[in-house]
């Protein structure tokens, strides 16, 4: 999940959207975005997916890590 977190943070920072705009478009509160970006708090996959959708990123959960080599 660390790769997803870093990729998502970088995409947010590189986007030309303000935190307010991203929060509004994704349905995620601005506070949650701020705490996530500052490293104060993590986010759920569901929240990450909402943000990713606005940023036109695709997140795919891995249901069984034993199959990944």
- C-alpha distances (whole Å) from 15 to each of 6, 51, 61, 65, 66 are 14, 11, 23, 31, 34
The candidate with the shortest Cα–Cα distance to 57, out of 1, 24, 9, is 9
pTM: 0.79
CATH topology of domain 2-61: 434 Repressor (Amino-terminal Domain) (1.10.260)
Q: Where are the domains of the chain?
A: 2-61
pLDDT of residue 25: 97
Distance CA 68, CA 34 (A): 33
8 neighbors 45 (Cβ within 8 angstroms): no
Q: What is the mean pLDDT of residues 34-59?
A: 92
Using CB atoms within 10 Å of the CB of residue 56, give its burial: 0 to 12 exposed, 13 to 18 middle, 19+ buried: exposed
**Each residue of 14-42: pLDDT tens digit?**
998 999 999 999 999 999 999 999 999 99
């Amino acid at each position: 999940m660390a790769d997803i977190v870093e990729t998502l943070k970088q995409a947010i920072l590189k986007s030309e959207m303000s935190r307010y705009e991203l929060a509004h478009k994704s349905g995620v509160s601005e506070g949650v975005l701020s705490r996530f970006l500052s490293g104060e708090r993590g986010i759920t996959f569901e929240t990450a997916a909402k943000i990713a959708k606005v940023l036109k990123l695709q997140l795919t959960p891995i249901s069984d890590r034993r199959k990944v080599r």
